[in-house]
Amino acid sequence: MAISGGNLFAMDAVDQEILDVLRADSRTSMRELAQRLGISRTSAYARVKRLVDSGVIRAFTIEVDPAALGLGLSAYIHVRTKQNSWKSFRKKVWALEEAAHVALVSGDFDAVILVRARDAEHLRELVLERIQSLPEVVATQTVLVFEEHVGQ
């Protein structure tokens, strides 16, 4: 079972296998998907369409290596914001090209931002001059990422 748009979506083992294959390579053809799962192409198309239409599959995407783009330094920026400022803060942070992920969280901080920077100077400028200067920001804490693994 999966929750999609607040509704429970009934998934069987074949649906789960489809998700596993497409997570590993979203460019997998329907022909190859059907062969790997031992189902017809018609069934593969129908199942993928049902997963998309129900919202279980939200997008087919690519994974880019930030270091190959010259963004070899990653960090999590923990941010404490002023009361009731999440929506305006989120909009401004998503406008930063360095922001890879933004989340509202519980705990000592209100938000966590995963950022990608060229180097330490770029990260310093991003945090001290652009993020901390936002009127919604009360405090930040920067956590450098030494090694990263993306799971499926």
Higher pLDDT pick, 11 / 77? 77
**Yes or no: domain 66-145 corresponds to CATH 3.30.70.920:** yes
- Output the pTM of the full model: 0.75
Q: Residue 119 to residues 37, 51, 130, 138: CA-CA distances in angstroms? A: 44, 40, 16, 25
Q: What values do phi and psi take at 123, rounded to 5? A: -65, -45
pLDDT tens digit string along 104-113?
999 999 999 9
pLDDT tens digit string along 9-50?
789 999 999 999 999 899 999 999 999 999 999 999 999 999
Domain boundaries, the chain: 2-53, 66-145
In single-letter form, the type of residue at position 78 comes to: H
Q: How confident is the model at residue 3 (pLDDT cuts 50, 70, 90)?
A: low
* Secondary structure string (H, E, C) spanning 59-94: CCCCCCCHHHHCCCEEEEEEEEECCCCHHHHHHHHH
In single-letter form, the type of residue at position 116 comes to: R
Q: Which fold has domain 2-53?
A: Arc Repressor Mutant, subunit A (1.10.10)
